Amino acid sequence: MPVVNLDGQAVDEAVSIETAERFIEHFSVIVSGRDTDGNITSAKDTQTGDILSFDCCYSNLELSFGKAAGLFEIKERFEKYVRFLNSEFAKHGYTLTGMGINPHADINHNLPIQNERYRMLYHYLHSYPEHTDEVDIRFHKRPDFGTFTSASQVQLDVDYEHLTDVINVFGLLEPYKAILFANSYLPDYPDFLCVRNMLWEHSMQGYNPHNVGMFGKPLTNTDELIDYIGSQSIYCTMRDGKYVNFTPLTVDEFFSRDSVEGEFFNGKEYRKIVFAPEASDLEYLRTFKFEDLTFRGTIEYRSSCCQPLSEALTVAAFHTGLKEKLYELKEIVENDKVIYSHGFNATELQKLLSKQKLPEYIDESAVERQLIRILDLSSEGLAQRGLGEEKLLAPLYERVRRHTNPAKTMLDGIKNGIPIESYIRQYAAI
């Protein structure tokens, strides 16, 4: 979630750090990470598994939750944490808000947390000018994007039998999700209502397109998935407590080499290093697929923007309900004629439908009907869990009926003279 200074000034990292310290004291959680200056970067509740952390910088705060069987237990803890954090931030004229792009992206310092991980990542992302002739992508000029982009991600258990079906079916759903959850507007790229994914894909994270976005074609079995993982790239590892980054190499290529040349920060400057690959380097395979298999035995759904905080659980509810109705969802998306009958594949459609203006060939009334059908299916899946979680989908039904999403609602309001500050506060409410 973005941390926003309501005075329109850059976030002072000391305010964020102090707020985290108050959080740790109040909830009796354990510090689990510090930067090189000793400042808190993360803290964990050892009973619930919940984590507060700063993602990339001190103006991007993340709440992660431990395993749970029901969404309302997560909702209760989320709202408890956010109320406390915003009561503390309010003392400084700050707030957390629910947007996929920090509305002060051009005001904040956007500098990385000074620890091994984020120093390396910031340096790596800014190395793109050295690689423009190596890959067939057009790099954007906001390599600091990791400091101001925020997502709502959910991990759901997946079993071996359903693994490829989950990836394939939810991949076909991505264009509809772009319409439903878009909430990342950046003036640099005014065509987009959901610019987050483009920022990832047209950066060094997308040097190898197999590391980002969608799979491109259906997976027919798990052997194909394993082969695909072999085609994804590693760009960093650690040696002697230091992060080493290097020009991305596919997993297969990396482990076929006797040595790899990279660079590391020695405390003063970046120095070259040559090292031999080790099996443990696989732990540093960093991929950002929309549907990503994790070491936890889950699929992580990564493409949705951070939502208005009162609607934060809509992303988790939507996916949880549809997972319960996987094969009914498969029937809908594999036979879809609303968006899939004009020659565009899922990857192309996801990009097209992330923009402000839908393609002229798309019938918005038909899209509304299809989205309602998908939401009804998710609602049925949640209802059969018997926990009342289907209530969490209500804001999504309202969006569909109004043909809007949080980014569109905000931009329409701004065009009608409502200041963005009003939406910062509105999207911060729970």
Query: pLDDT tens, 382-416?
Result: 999 999 999 999 999 999 999 999 999 999 999 99
Q: Which long-range contacts (CB under 8 A, 24 or more apart) does 89-92 make?
A: 89/3, 89/15, 89/19, 92/5, 92/12, 92/15, 92/19
**Is 91 within 8 Å of 85 (Cβ atoms)?**
no
- Provide the residue ranges of all domains of the chain, joining segments of one domain with +: 1-96, 98-110+149-190+308-430
Determine the pLDDT at residue 74.
97
Determine the pLDDT at residue 71.
98
Determine the pLDDT at residue 318.
98
Strands 154-157 and 270-275: unpaired
pLDDT band at 36 (very low <50, low <70, confident <90, very high): very high
Determine the pLDDT at residue 246.
98
Structure tokens at 277: 């690959």
Residue among 397, 250, 271, 380 nearest 328 (CA): 380
Rounded Cα distance, 58 and 32, in Å:
16
Q: What is the pLDDT of residues 56-79, one digit of tens each?
A: 999 999 999 999 999 999 999 999
Burial of 10 (0-12, 13-18, 19+ CB in 10 A): middle
**Is 145 within 8 Å of 368 (Cβ atoms)?**
no
Rounded Cα distance, 425 and 98, in Å:
9
